[in-house]
Structure 1
Amino acid sequence: MSDRATDPTSERAGDEKPRLKEYEGEGITVTFEPRRCLHAAECVHGLPEVFDLSRRPWVLPDAAEPARVAEVVRRCPSGALQYHHRPEDAVAEPPDSPTTVRRNPAGQLVVRGDLVVTGAYGDRHETRAMLCGCGASGNQPYCDHSGPCAEPEDDDVPEKR
């Protein structure tokens, strides 16, 4: 298991290449890309025994059944958390089918499916991503809350379609 950084959610926009942290368990490995985390807290609310920001390492994949860990990781809307099972199983996160794209009330594009996202570091195969809808992100094409989506959420804002 590895956890090289002190703060699991910090990474500066000027870093050369996106950093990917790996938390290896017996039946599942969870990866985390801090720069893509938008703090939706699906992980810490879904499985606090696995995901706990007050501890180091903050991810303990073996603290729950692999299927449950995978279920909670799939709730991560930004795609900052991903998973794969043991290499010999060759089972990775299956993409949603059909692929869906929706704009949330903050203007971000929530995309799920069999994706190829092209950014500063080339093409990346993804199953989930939160893409910038305003053009202000320093982590294009992913949202980083640096534009209008950083404003406090307003429950009265109608969802744009």
Structure 2
Amino acid sequence: MSEATAGGGSGTERPPEAGKPRIKEYEGEGVTVTFEPRRCLHAAECVRGLPEVFDLSRRPWVLPDAAAPERVAEVIRRCPSGALRYRPADGTAEPPDAPTTVRRSASGQLVVRGDLRVADGDGERRETRVVLCGCGASGNQPYCDHSGPCAEPDDDVAEER
């Protein structure tokens, strides 16, 4: 798969194959961070948790080497939607939460964490964190995209989880 620079620096973007999501990749010495923009619900766990790594005012906006890989992984695991993911330099996968949990937000979204297999229009994907649409209005089914009534601004606030 070819890669093109996304915003300068070490961020690369994998062009989507037919029907596949666009994923940006930011490679660091100890950890690689991937970002799937259409899944982002703007919970801001990343920018609040590690502003030196995640800074929307610069390009590339993700600098994985600006903090210890373990700290980067810890903050990424706070991302409820799974838009941000990480891969340690040793190639291991992000460990899923155990046991798997499902929580319905007050507005109907399903917040799911664990060892997941999610089927969407592109086939089946292995996931560790997702926010699924509970109202049926999302244009990114089965994931929530905040386009319907099941998406209230405060659903992803860490203190409410």
Equivalent residue, structure 1, for 2:47: 44
Deviations 1:5-28 (A, max 9, x none): 69xxxxxxxx94210110000000
Equivalent residue, structure 1, for 2:72: 69
Counterpart residue identity of residue 50, structure 1: V
Ranges of 4+ aligned residues in structure 1 off by more than 2 Å: 149-154
1:81 and 2:116 are equivalent in the alignment: no
C-alpha contact (below 8 Å) 1:132/1:141 kept by paired residues:
yes
Equivalent residue, structure 2, for 1:113: 114
Deviations 1:130-160 (A, max 9, x none): 0000000000000001100345549xxxx9x
So what's the TM-score if we normalise by structure 1? 0.84
3-state SS, counterpart of residue 129 of structure 2: strand
- 2 CA distance for matches of 1:121 and 1:56? 29
3-state SS, counterpart of residue 93 of structure 1: coil
Q: 1:62 to 1:153 in 2, by over 3 A?
A: closer
3-state SS, counterpart of residue 149 of structure 1: coil
C-alpha contact (below 8 Å) 1:96/1:114 kept by paired residues:
yes
- 2 CA distance for matches of 1:118 and 1:54? 34
Equivalent residue, structure 1, for 2:56: 53
- 1 CA distance for matches of 2:102 and 2:111? 6
Counterpart residue identity of residue 115, structure 2: D
- 1 CA distance for matches of 2:122 and 2:49? 31
Map 1:1-161 to 2 at 5 A. Answer: 4=6, 16-86=19-89, 89-153=90-154
Q: 1:153 to 1:41 in 2, by over 3 A?
A: closer
Structure 1 position 90, deviation (Å)? 2.8
Deviations 1:80-126 (A, max 9, x none): 0000111xx23221000000001012211000000000000000000
- 1 CA distance for matches of 2:97 and 2:153? 29
3-state SS, counterpart of residue 43 of structure 1: helix
Question: Hey, which of these two has a bigger chunk of strand by percent?
Answer: 2
Unaligned runs of 5+ in 1: 7-14
3-state SS, counterpart of residue 150 of structure 2: helix
Equivalent residue, structure 1, for 2:11: none
RMSD of Structure 2 on Structure 1 (CA):
2.3
